């Protein structure tokens, strides 16, 4: 780490200023950061889409959950960029697994909801610490540091607002006469369009916010380290030293030697860096003389500034003493407080267990979903095709899944007719006919289509014989369904006999 190559100006800042610095960094390097985020997130999104394409909300949830997977590359790139090393996106992506792998599981589970995620990420990623050393380091870094949590809170809100704005903007861009959906339904209503927009808007907004979030977290980390390790002082003294060295060389005056000596000593005392003064100066001064000189320097107005900072610290006394001090308190109040404390502790334990349970349930559900989508791995094209066919279809309240039908509906219907179940037989034939039209002949039947419109579709796309058969079948079905008139057995038997010639078997 060469502080001389630092691209940012380190100085004493508040945490809010540090976040601002992070935003400035994100603005300056937005494009590479954005591309890095997309390079990871888009492939991950595609994988989730292929796994859960029928439930887009789940794709969105997973994409959001896996955010810690996309951020390390940004942090890595930034850590090099601030020291004047601009890496190409391609180069970083080649090292993607090496950068992202450390502590990946814990980042995606236990640390997923850590509000200071962007702030603590460099500890594992850049300092390569894990386990107890990491915890201790995070503890030191995180002392009195709350801005990172606020950064996350603001980020979440901003992301949500952006997403809503995106959908609202699209809604208002649709000409009013073409609006087939209300704004409310676009956000909340069932249906693919709303979910697609939420997914697209989610990805877009996450990609826009992520560079700022990671940069601000990194800036906070740099600020904190600079504060703890005096990087800003080191840099300032180095610069001063260089300046004095140059002056010494150019003027070669005696006075400047003394000044340089004082400066070097000051550096040695104030900072713990390896900037030892030249031995010749050190040897020439006594300890007492040095101390006096330092006090003289510190007495200067430039060093005469005192700052007072306030913070909260528990200064309570031991419990026994507390009991003694609270002897004035009635016993029942003490008992009450003890019960309340017990309750709160109990609730906290219950909450902890519930959170664990919830986490495990989500993981189990995701594993279940993945196991349910195994068919995809058998072959993308074939899997897609078969899944499209296997989609559960319901029309006119009839279950149209192939597995809900027998292989030979006509034979099954004949059995039902013999058993006197005419309604069941006709329903079976009608259902099988619709299923054949949808799945085998790929006739699109909208949910708003009436039975008469289905007949019209068959007349338009299928042969005259088939259309005539379907019209007869629909006529009987309408009479039964809406007129409550049972068909004659003979009519049904005729339909069953003609069935084989028109449609064959369902599984053909």
Give contact residues for another protein (rule: CB under 8 A). Answer: 176-177, 179-182, 394, 396-398, 446-453, 478-479, 481-485
Half-sphere exposure of 399 (CA within 13 A, CB side): 7
For another protein, the closer of residues 195 and 451 by Cβ is 451
Half-sphere exposure of 193 (CA within 13 A, CB side): 12
For another protein, the closer of residues 90 and 484 by Cβ is 484
**Minimum Å distance from CB 355 to another protein?**
40
Rounded CA-CA distance 232/303 in Å is: 16
**Minimum Å distance from CB 387 to another protein?**
24
For another protein, the closer of residues 80 and 423 by Cβ is 423
**Minimum Å distance from CB 506 to another protein?**
21
For another protein, the closer of residues 283 and 490 by Cβ is 490
Rounded CA-CA distance 31/17 in Å is: 23
For another protein, the closer of residues 268 and 481 by Cβ is 481
List residues bridging with 364 in a β-sheet. Answer: none
For another protein, the closer of residues 469 and 477 by Cβ is 477
**Minimum Å distance from CB 484 to another protein?**
7
Query: Can you tell me which residue has the tokens 């068919």?
Result: 375
**Minimum Å distance from CB 176 to another protein?**
5
Q: Angle between the 451-461 and 464-481 helix axes, to the nearest 10 degrees?
A: 170
Half-sphere exposure of 25 (CA within 13 A, CB side): 33
**Minimum Å distance from CB 482 to another protein?**
5
**Minimum Å distance from CB 477 to another protein?**
9
Rounded CA-CA distance 246/294 in Å is: 23
**Minimum Å distance from CB 495 to another protein?**
18
What secondary structure letter does DSSP report for 308? -
Buried b (16+ CB within 10 A) or exposed e, 280-302: ebeeebeeeeeeebbeeeeeeee
For another protein, the closer of residues 261 and 433 by Cβ is 433
Q: How many helices (H) and strands (E) does the chain have?
A: 24, 2
For another protein, the closer of residues 4 and 453 by Cβ is 453
For another protein, the closer of residues 465 and 486 by Cβ is 486
Rounded CA-CA distance 292/349 in Å is: 59
For another protein, the closer of residues 180 and 328 by Cβ is 180
**Minimum Å distance from CB 350 to another protein?**
44
For another protein, the closer of residues 319 and 444 by Cβ is 444
Three-state DSSP class for residue 398: strand
Rounded to 10 degrees, the C-alpha dihedral 273/277/283/285 comes to: -90
**Minimum Å distance from CB 462 to another protein?**
19
**Minimum Å distance from CB 434 to another protein?**
12
Rounded CA-CA distance 63/201 in Å is: 12
Query: Can you tell me which residue has the tokens 């400066």?
Result: 263
Structure tokens at 112: 């997923």
Rounded to 5, what percent of the chain is helix, strand, coil? 75, 0, 25
149-158, long-range: CB within 8 Å, 24+ apart, which pairs?
A: 149/115, 149/116, 151/19, 151/118, 151/119, 151/213, 151/216, 151/217, 151/220, 152/115, 152/116, 152/117, 152/118, 152/213, 153/115, 155/209, 155/212, 155/213, 158/209
Residue 278 Cα to chain centre, angstroms: 54
Tell me how many degrees the CA angle 229-230-231 measures, rounded to the nearest 5. 95
Residue 494 Cα to chain centre, angstroms: 60
**Minimum Å distance from CB 446 to another protein?**
7
For another protein, the closer of residues 180 and 332 by Cβ is 180
């Amino acid at each position: 780490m060469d502080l001389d190559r630092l691209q940012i100006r380190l100085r004493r800042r508040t945490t809010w200023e540090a976040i601002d610095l992070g935003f400035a960094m994100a603005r300056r390097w937005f494009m590479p950061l954005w591309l890095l985020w997309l390079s990871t997130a888009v492939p991950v999104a595609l994988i989730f889409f292929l796994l859960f394409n029928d439930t887009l909300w789940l794709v969105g949830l997973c994409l959001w959950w896996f955010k810690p997977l996309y951020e390390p590359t940004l942090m890595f790139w930034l850590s090099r960029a601030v020291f004047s090393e601009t890496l190409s996106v391609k180069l970083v992506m080649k090292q993607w697994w090496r950068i992202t792998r450390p502590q990946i599981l814990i980042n995606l589970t236990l640390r997923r909801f850590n509000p200071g995620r962007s702030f603590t990420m460099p500890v594992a990623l850049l300092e390569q610490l894990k386990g107890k050393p990491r915890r201790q380091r995070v503890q030191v870094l995180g002392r009195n540091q709350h801005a990172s949590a606020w950064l996350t809170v603001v980020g979440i809100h901003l992301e949500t607002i952006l997403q809503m704005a995106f959908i609202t903007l699209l809604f208002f861009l649709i000409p009013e006469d073409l609006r087939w959906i209300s704004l409310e339904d676009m956000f909340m209503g069932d249906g693919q369009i709303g979910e697609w927009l939420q997914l697209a808007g989610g990805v877009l907004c996450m990609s826009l916010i992520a560079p700022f979030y990671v940069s601000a977290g990194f800036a906070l980390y740099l600020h904190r380290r600079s504060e703890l390790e005096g990087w800003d002082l080191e840099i300032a003294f180095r610069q001063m030293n260089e300046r004095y060295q140059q002056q010494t060389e150019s003027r070669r005056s005696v006075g400047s030697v003394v000044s340089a000596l004082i400066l070097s000593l000051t550096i040695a005392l104030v900072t713990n860096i390896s900037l030892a003064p030249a031995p010749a100066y050190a040897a020439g001064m006594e300890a007492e003389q040095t101390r006096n000189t330092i006090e003289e320097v510190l007495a200067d107005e430039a060093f005469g500034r005192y700052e007072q900072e306030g913070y909260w610290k528990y200064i309570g006394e031991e419990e026994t003493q507390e009991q003694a001090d609270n002897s004035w308190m009635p016993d029942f109040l003490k008992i009450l407080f003890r019960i309340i404390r017990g309750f709160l502790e109990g609730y906290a334990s219950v909450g902890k267990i519930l959170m664990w349970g919830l986490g495990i349930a989500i993981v189990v559900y995701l594993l279940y979903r993945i196991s349910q989508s195994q068919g995809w791995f058998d072959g993308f094209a074939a899997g897609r095709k078969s899944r499209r066919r296997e989609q559960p279809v319901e029309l006119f309240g009839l279950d149209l899944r192939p597995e809900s039908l027998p292989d030979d509906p006509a034979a099954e219907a004949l059995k039902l007719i013999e058993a006197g179940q005419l309604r069941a037989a006709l329903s079976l034939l009608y259902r099988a006919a619709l299923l054949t039209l949808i799945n085998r002949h790929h006739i699109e039947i909208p949910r708003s289509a009436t039975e008469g419109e289905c007949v019209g579709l068959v007349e338009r796309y299928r042969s005259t014989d088939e259309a005539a058969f379907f019209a007869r079948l629909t006529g009987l079905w309408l009479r039964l369904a809406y007129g409550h008139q049972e068909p004659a057995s003979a009519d049904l038997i005729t339909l069953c006999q003609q069935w084989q010639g028109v449609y064959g078997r369902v599984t053909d």
